[in-house]
């Protein structure tokens, strides 16, 4: 389905997750994981977590996620950490994307805290 055929209201959280995972995969993000948190918090339904290999790679992954969602007129609620590029958080309401430096990802342990589901890639 073309992005023009589907409006923001029609995209489900699952569809956003697939777009985000695809964008991350296009740029060879490492260890892409989806965490379903619907029953654990009211903040969001899913978190998509991945790692980049450098600050430049982390920014590029975040940029690709934003580009792909912009095709569906989804701009996000907020973005944090872009300048430092050690942990970029992009909030899309029902889906939150996290792009980590591997050290910071291990330190913060989101997957261990929230639980891990639907792995796409593992390294």
| pLDDT given at position 63 | 96
Domain-located, residue 63: yes
E-strand ranges in 1-123 read 30-36, 46-51, 78-80, 87-91, 95-100
Contact 90, 9 (CB under 8 A): no
Evaluate whether 58 touches 84 at the Cβ level (below 8 Å).
no
Residue 52: which domain range? 10-112
Task: Dump pLDDT digits (tens) for 58-101.
Answer: 999 999 999 999 999 988 788 999 999 999 999 998 999 999 99
**What's the confidence (pLDDT) of residue 8?**
45
In a domain, 65, yes or no: yes
Mean per-residue pLDDT, 24-46: 84
Q: At what angle do helices 13-26 and 55-70 cross, to 10 degrees?
A: 140
Domains held by the chain: number? 1
Residue 53 maps to which CATH number?
3.30.460.10
Separation in Å, CA 54 to CA 6, 28, 113: 34, 12, 24
Q: Which residue has the higher pLDDT, 26 or 120?
A: 26
């Amino acid at each position: 389905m073309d992005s023009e055929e589907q409006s923001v209201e029609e995209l489900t959280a699952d569809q956003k997750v697939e777009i985000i995972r695809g964008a991350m995969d296009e740029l060879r993000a490492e260890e892409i994981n989806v965490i379903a948190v619907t029953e654990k918090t009211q903040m969001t339904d899913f978190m998509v977590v991945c790692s980049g290999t450098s600050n430049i790679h982390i920014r590029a992954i975040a940029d690709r996620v934003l580009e792909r969602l912009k095709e569906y007129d989804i701009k996000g609620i907020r973005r944090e950490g872009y300048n430092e590029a050690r942990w970029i958080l992009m909030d899309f309401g029902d889906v939150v994307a996290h792009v980590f430096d591997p050290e910071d990802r291990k330190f913060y342990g989101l997957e261990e805290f929230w639980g891990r589901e639907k792995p796409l890639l593992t390294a």
